[in-house]
Structure 1
Amino acid sequence: MKINKILITILSSCLVLYGCRNEVEIPQLNNLLPLPQDPNIQVYFNYNEQAEYTEPYRPIIREGDNLEQILIEAVNSAENTIDIAIQDLNLPDLARAIASQHEAGKKVRIIIENNYNLSLNELGADHGLAILKKNNIPIIDDTEDGSKGSGLMHHKFLIIDNKKLVTGSANFTLSGTHGDLDNENTRGNANHLLVIDNAPLANIFAQEFNYMWGDGLGNKKDSLFGLQKPFRPAQTLTIGESQVTVKFSPTSRTQPWEATTNGLIDETLKKTSESIDLALFVFSKQPLSNTLKNKSSRGTQIRALIDPLFAYRYYSEGLDLLGVELSNNCQFYDDNNPWENSIETVGIPNISRGDKLHHKFALIDNKIIITGSHNWSAAANYTNDEALLIIDNSTIAKHFSQEFDRLYDDAILGVTDRLQQRIEEDKRECQING
């Protein structure tokens, strides 16, 4: 990064002083300069090669956008209200910023997943949740409806003054942003955040939040999680130069496929004409694979990266794209559909042990982005509390393209020797058992 900055300075001076033409004399300059941001929707990646920061806890100077600082800046900008729905929150500095705003009289409400809502006795003193609880900040989880909890309260969003929305793939945790303190090799799960300045969209998310909040820490137990929330179709609005569609999960199985969140993903994929790039934590929904197969057969270029933990499991649709299948104890799913014309542009990213590919995004025709908390799975569709965003904006798409290319450059693609060995082992075992 330091070398890049020096080069930028030298080359920029050349441009100013000597009138050098960027496209002729210094063609690499565009790869060194940060990409322009959309004025209404900014996107940040914790592995952004064009940015650098010092982690606040280890400390380590590393490439990337400081996602925690992005969250802190949003919190500090609040004039009246801060609403947070997040699966897990343990970032100490973020918690301190929230506590400071609470002390200053701002109204703060937080919803987390019940599995992470631990008592003070179970939390370390510097744990973000412990800091919040010590400052008496209202916190509920998905048992506030009187149940044992929804599938997963998997949301990842923050609303400021019902005007600004921060959302994306990142949990507000050390592993979701910087890396694990006890593992010097980690730099955090590959994640992104969107900062969207738009009151209409913020209010759509506020409605979702209020359904879940109910009376908060009250006695009515009127919080609505999971399928208790009313069905809402996808909503589309214009934000500056962007067209943005938002859809919340879960959706009842009584609704048609097209009305579900995965159905909206499917509909968007079908509009593709040239290319689809996927960076997914989990990919396990068969109809989406079938749509990709149809698009591939018609000439659409498809590249897919899936987290190593899930890429080669028997239920992974990544196997379909590679033209292979694995059994579950010698049982194969009836709707498995390995591609006859398989592709080799599918694999896993080369990431540090302990880190994950936690993105849930697709880039379509280098113009449309599918993102949010929503994994491409049945659980995300029918059980979990989730949000999906579809953004049509070429400026924003360039950021996701740059992130995908970074991951793809040294990815492990195709049917690896280890996967082939597992396929052969599966065949032998199932023949013996049969």
Structure 2
Amino acid sequence: METSDGSATRGYVASQAFVDKYQARGPLKTLLPARVAQGTTFKPTHPDADDAYEWMGLEARKEIFALLDAAVADPAATVSMVAYDMSESEIMDRLFALGPRLRIIIDDSDKHGLKTSGETQSETLLKASAGEDNVKRERMGGLQHNKMIIVDAAVPRAVCGSTNFSWRGLYVQSNNALLLTGAQAVAPLKAAFEAYWKKDGFANGPSPDWHPLGLAGIDASITFSPHDTARARLAEIGQDVEKAQACLLYSLAFLSITGGAVTDAVEAATNSPVFTYGISDNNTGVTVHKPNGNTAPVYFARLNKHVPTPFKVEPYTGIGPNLHHKFLVIDFNTPDARVWTGSYNFSKPADLQNGENLLLIRDQKIATSYRVEGIRIFDDYHFRVTQEDAAEAKKTLSLQKAPTAGEDPWWAEDYTDPFKIRDRELFA
């Protein structure tokens, strides 16, 4: 797989828990297809495949499957779907079962448009089950990068976010999926789908506006790209990042290659009193943005060399981005906490050319949840940087000893280093 800018990245399963639970019972190739184009026909041979998929996919897989299963079981339900990567066979099986109750738009940009691609294979298979008129291919002004499943039923439900409907999207990448329930919450997604289906005039219609989701006790709104220049969102997001008072946490795929107002605002924040933690994917791996403003690349093979006990070598996942999240968390520890997230890559193409979903959620509980996810990812990769940066790579890890009389304790820097002081006070 290639990233949306055409640069390839090589990834590993950055999870020691995966190695401990499943690697000894079968190599990764028994769980995931070796090539993206094999996705629609791949059959796992790992003896613990069902358990592994449930563990790897977590709530996103569970909720996406449950959403489609409920639609299949309800003969009155219809499904409208927009897909960028489209090749995961368990999702495909559920779509086949819907028959003509499915309408789907599949991206056809770049390699997705090849005759051998998983997306083209999915198109052929779904035309046979849903009907020729119910399957469309399009790329908007650049990519049809949106990811939405909309179930129109007695209780409308939908899923959106960054999760692609592919093996890598469900089982390899860091992603998020948002499940929406209720007529008001789902209505903007339904309208956006209809506008995508017609395509012509999308940017002049209402979908690029902000649409409140009407969620009880939660201030949340959604908008859809491509935006016209009058309703462009990139500068608006950059201005909100600049308003951060206490902290900024983010996980942004392709930040290092996008440029623009958000990238500029994030860079400015790292050089300000605002506490900043961040992760971004790039064309060689992942970049850790430390709270002191320094950055360090993370190569996924770091735990293939000098692996310290008790850690183990992590399996290679093939070509494609590992970090696919797109979220910004601003001032999670204040009443003004908010999250920006969706399929939107915080770039000019995402704003003005591609099909995307973008949400702004003003809720401290949700912001805290995203903060936990951001720190989880940061700590996982920061460990790899620390291991690589050691003057001599450590072959074992052990607890540091208590200080002797007259010796400065190892935690003294947490009370003297200004960056570590902010870290301690914010998360203690």
TM above 0.5, yes or no, is yes
Are 1:376 and 2:373 an aligned pair?
no
Q: Given the alignment, which residue of 376, 394, 411 partners 2:381?
A: 411
Determine which structure has greater relative contact order: mean sequence separation of CA pairs < 8 Å that are 6+ residues apart, divided by chain length.
Answer: 2
Aligned partner of 1:305 in structure 2 is 279
1:409: Cα distance to partner? 1.1
Q: Given the alignment, which residue of 102, 105, 110 partners 1:111?
A: 105
Cα distance change on mapping 1:108 and 1:302 into 2, 3 Å: same
Amino acid at match of 2:362: D
1:383: Cα distance to partner? 1.2
Cα distance change on mapping 1:294 and 1:150 into 2, 3 Å: closer
Verify the 8 A CA contact 2:226 2:353 in the aligned structure 1.
yes
1:271: Cα distance to partner? 3.4
TM-score (norm 2): 0.63
Cα distance change on mapping 1:408 and 1:381 into 2, 3 Å: same
Q: Given the alignment, which residue of 200, 218, 233 partners 2:209?
A: 233
Are 1:151 and 2:148 an aligned pair?
no
1:281: Cα distance to partner? 0.8
Q: Give 3-state SS (helix, strand or coil) of 2:130's partner.
A: coil
Aligned partner of 1:262 in structure 2 is 234
Amino acid at match of 1:76: D
1:225: Cα distance to partner? 7.0
Verify the 8 A CA contact 1:83 1:108 in the aligned structure 2.
yes
Alpha-carbon separation, structure 1, partners of 2:368 and 2:298 = 22
TM-superposition CA deviations, 1:397-422 (whole Å, max 9, x none): 33322222221113249999x99xxx
Cα distance change on mapping 1:230 and 1:346 into 2, 3 Å: farther
Alpha-carbon separation, structure 2, partners of 1:139 and 1:100 = 15
Cα distance change on mapping 1:84 and 1:302 into 2, 3 Å: same
Amino acid at match of 1:139: V
1:153: Cα distance to partner? 0.6
Aligned partner of 2:195 in structure 1 is 211
Identity of aligned residues (%): 20
Cα distance change on mapping 1:123 and 1:273 into 2, 3 Å: closer
| Aligned residues between the structures | 319
Q: Give 3-state SS (helix, strand or coil) of 1:411's partner.
A: helix
Amino acid at match of 2:84: Q
Aligned partner of 1:34 in structure 2 is none
Cα distance change on mapping 1:349 and 1:242 into 2, 3 Å: farther
5 Å-filtered alignment, 1:31-110, equals: 57=44, 58=46, 59-60=48-49, 61-62=51-52, 63-64=55-56, 65=58, 67-78=60-71, 79-102=76-99, 107-110=101-104
Verify the 8 A CA contact 1:249 1:385 in the aligned structure 2.
yes
Structure 2 residues not aligned, in runs of 5+: 1-13, 23-30, 32-42, 302-314, 390-428
Cα distance change on mapping 1:249 and 1:293 into 2, 3 Å: same
Verify the 8 A CA contact 1:166 1:195 in the aligned structure 2.
yes
Q: Given the alignment, which residue of 255, 258, 261 partners 1:287?
A: 261
TM-score (norm 1): 0.62
TM-superposition CA deviations, 1:304-354 (whole Å, max 9, x none): 111142779xxxxx79x78xxxxxxxxxxxxxxxxxx96136655858644
Q: Given the alignment, which residue of 158, 174, 182 partners 1:190?
A: 174
Structure 1 residues not aligned, in runs of 5+: 1-45, 144-148, 179-187, 215-222, 313-317, 323-340, 420-434
Alpha-carbon separation, structure 1, partners of 2:236 and 2:65 = 32
1:237: Cα distance to partner? 4.2
Pick the structure with more helix per residue: 2
5 Å-filtered alignment, 1:1-40, equals: none
Verify the 8 A CA contact 2:204 2:228 in the aligned structure 1.
no
Verify the 8 A CA contact 1:349 1:411 in the aligned structure 2.
no
Cα distance change on mapping 1:290 and 1:127 into 2, 3 Å: closer
Amino acid at match of 2:151: I
